[in-house]
Structure 1
Amino acid sequence: MIVDDEPLARERLLRLLQAEDSVTQCVTAANGEEALRKQLDDPVDLVLLDIRMPGLSGLELAAEWVQQAHPPAIVFCTAYDDYALEAFQVQAVSYLMKPVKSADLHQVLGQASRLNRAQLSAMSGADAGPVIALQTGRGKERIPLNDVFCFRADQKYVVALCRQGERLCDLSLKQLEERFPEQLIRVHRTTLVPKSRLEKLTRDAQGSIWLSLRGMTGPVAVSRRFARELRPLFQDSPDWSE
């Protein structure tokens, strides 16, 4: 479903969708109230949703759908980039900037078509674990925290290394620690890792300490300060006496 109060925007998205083999049917709605009625009468799998609309806004509409047992996947399409945080707070799958490019739309549809039951559960906020909004070349993307290998501070940026590749994070390492205290642990002044990724702690002949992470090629460096906090998490951790 395309939901946008601008007729030209709806028509453009409709033309782009008609070129996609994965789309079997598409309906349109000019406002939030019409979209609610159509979704109730004939539920759709994916909604391309404008944010600024008269009456019920896109964010309010998404918040309504999130409460349903089987909500549609939501992709926000907007000309404004200052709604990203609010968009991901209502479980949006992605966030596309207008004018939407066919290549970006194709990528989002491919992502949606590969969703499994666990990912669909994540959209509805049910038993999926925390998610985080990370910056990609085409906007922001909601990624499960379990997909992240580590966060690294690189000068004034924080980079997330995850299964989907490298992503930029708007939060500082300190903000990440405060937001996910149960999931993340500091291993270096510049590095945070998910506790679920911890695999092996070793020290080389030069005395440097390294942490192996599940699913990640190559270890990450651990500072001596944080090694003391890490060692109790490993049953087979060697007894390193200073």
Structure 2
Amino acid sequence: MKVLVVDDEPLARERLMRLLESEDTVTQCFSAANGQEALTRMTTDPVDLVLLDIRMPGISGLEVSERMMEATQPPAIVFCTAYDDYALDAFRVQAVSYLLKPVKREDLNRVLRQAGQLNRAQLNALGDQDAGPVLTLQTGRGKERIPLTDLYYFRADQKYVTALCRQGERLCDLSLKQLEERWPDHLVRVHRNTLVPKQRLEKLSRDSEGGFWLRLRGLEESLPVSRRFARELKPLFEG
């Protein structure tokens, strides 16, 4: 099992690393001093389990966990905190468990066993593994996790990006550029303000005035396509 320790306190981070290095089930362990460093490491070298501090400067542990859970194969997450009132939040983002600081060896052994047993269940709880990435989108009731396969398109309008999905319209915290960079294999730009999941592409047509229009699977309306992106789209409809 590959484990990542995320904590802004050097002593707490080093203590956990020492405990992990003596565990037979742990094959590799890494550390990160903040949320951004942890997210960067996960993109280059994914792990099976993340031991995550909640209160950190910059990106909080709760936000880091939500972003990690958007991965196609998210890690098991265990929160490490001195405040047990975060327990409900831990399970809201589908963490496997949480540890109270200072972490005891017997408690660490317990969550390592849970991580191994529940990692598969955690993935299943997110939906079908073959469904691809999962996004966290804003609704009037809070945040909602929606598979990319439920999305029709993303549209930028001034300061906001709106996602149209089977559940209705949702607000997205990411820009179109960030969405493209995060899921380049799944999304394609059709207009300067519109991004579409590739699996939704159905038909590219041209009207009498020379304008391009895109029909999407499962959606009645057609989307306008700029000439520039029409050239890039055409190969996706060939063969």
Normalised TM-score (structure 1): 0.50
- Note closer, same or farther for the CA distance 1:115–1:89 as it changes in structure 2 (3 Å cut): closer
1:24 to 27, 34, 48: 27
Aligned AA (1:42): D
Shift of the alpha carbon at 1:88? 1.0
Distance in 2 between residues matched to 1:112 and 1:103, nearest whole Å: 14
Q: Partner of 1:102 in structure 2?
A: 105
Q: Partner of 2:237 in structure 1?
A: none
2:85 to 82, 85, 92: 82
Greater than 4 Å deviation, 4+ residue runs: none
The C-alpha deviation readout for 1:68-106, integer Å capped at 9, x for no partner, is 211110000001112111111111000110011100101
* Count of aligned pairs: 126
Structure 1 residue 67 and structure 2 residue 70: aligned? Answer: yes
Q: Partner of 1:34 in structure 2?
A: 37
Please give the residue correspondences for 1:5-16 in structure 2 after superposition, counting only pairs within 5 Å: 5-16=8-19
Do the aligned partners of 2:96 and 2:118 also contact (CA within 8 Å) in 1?
Answer: no
Aligned AA (2:60): S
- Note closer, same or farther for the CA distance 1:116–1:30 as it changes in structure 2 (3 Å cut): closer
Q: Partner of 2:57 in structure 1?
A: 54
Distance in 2 between residues matched to 1:84 and 1:31, nearest whole Å: 21
Distance in 1 between residues matched to 2:58 and 2:122, nearest whole Å: 31
SS at match of 1:14: helix
Please give the residue correspondences for 1:1-242 in structure 2 after superposition, counting only pairs within 5 Å: 1-115=4-118, 117-122=120-125, 125-126=126-127
- Note closer, same or farther for the CA distance 1:84–1:116 as it changes in structure 2 (3 Å cut): closer
Distance in 2 between residues matched to 1:49 and 1:57, nearest whole Å: 10
Q: Partner of 1:218 in structure 2?
A: none
Aligned AA (2:67): E
Do the aligned partners of 2:76 and 2:119 also contact (CA within 8 Å) in 1?
Answer: no
Aligned AA (1:126): G
Distance in 2 between residues matched to 1:38 and 1:119, nearest whole Å: 21
SS at match of 2:62: helix
Q: Give the percent of matched residue pairs that are identical in Structure 1 and Structure 2.
A: 69
Aligned AA (2:88): L
Q: Partner of 1:210 in structure 2?
A: none
Distance in 1 between residues matched to 2:108 and 2:20, nearest whole Å: 8
Distance in 2 between residues matched to 1:116 and 1:47, nearest whole Å: 11
**In angstroms, what is the RMSD of aligned CA positions?**
1.6
SS at match of 2:98: strand
Shift of the alpha carbon at 1:120? 3.1
Shift of the alpha carbon at 1:112? 1.7
Distance in 2 between residues matched to 1:49 and 1:116, nearest whole Å: 16
SS at match of 1:26: strand
SS at match of 1:60: helix
- Note closer, same or farther for the CA distance 1:100–1:47 as it changes in structure 2 (3 Å cut): same
Shift of the alpha carbon at 1:116? 6.3
- Note closer, same or farther for the CA distance 1:16–1:116 as it changes in structure 2 (3 Å cut): closer
Normalised TM-score (structure 2): 0.50
